[in-house]
Amino acid sequence: MSEIFLDTETTGLSVKDGDRIIEIACIETVDLIPTKKVFHKLLNPQKSVSQEAFKVHGFSDEFLKNQQKFEEVADEFLKFIEGKKLIIHNAPFDIGFLNNELRRMKKTIVDMKRVEDTLSLARSKFPSSSNSLDNLCKRFSIDLSKRTKHNALLDCELLREVYINLVEQREPSLKFAEASNKLSENPITKVNVGGEKNIINISKEEHRMHNEFLKNELKKNFY
């Protein structure tokens, strides 16, 4: 299955007040493994960024005025997400802004039925906790050192890691590791030059250390 991890940054918090999108990022995955296909655009919102929003993402009016407008990238964006599940943190916010832009262009809006909201998922698992992206990263020991400001592309990458933890899945590339684990559950066959087979039985401790190595090394080198 193909998924899109999606995030936006905006001029403010309210579509009703005329706020618009200034950054949109999407990371494509297949079974949660990144395909390296990315959609990332900074946009000229044709509206001033509020002081509160500027403090969050750091994009100024002066910087954004030279960027493309949403209508110039809309078709490329819609093609990128076509037919794929969307995974978004606090999805009603992002989808509300995206659909506002699409309505302005008289284009088909994004159906919430194809969207999974990780905020709702987190609240169902941790109802008494704050479930911001920052707090979820801290809960799952995900590195936040690069997140000095909100950045849609970085937030997509962090969200993928959070989502994997929320659905209690290990790094999806560990299909390889899982296959290795199954092999390691059985005796390992070593073939000598002379063609004879020696059966080497590994201990439970060796099996545990092997699995831990695979888990840590593959996750560390995933990007």
CA distance 150 to 22: 12
Q: Beta-strand (E) ranges in 43-194?
A: 85-88, 115-117, 188-191
Catalytic residues: 150
Residues 76, 86: Cα–Cα separation, whole Å:
16
What's the CA dihedral at 21, 6, 133, 172 to 10 degrees? -170
Alpha carbons 119 and 126: distance in angstroms, whole number: 10
The helix (H) or strand (E) run that includes residue 2 is strand 2-10
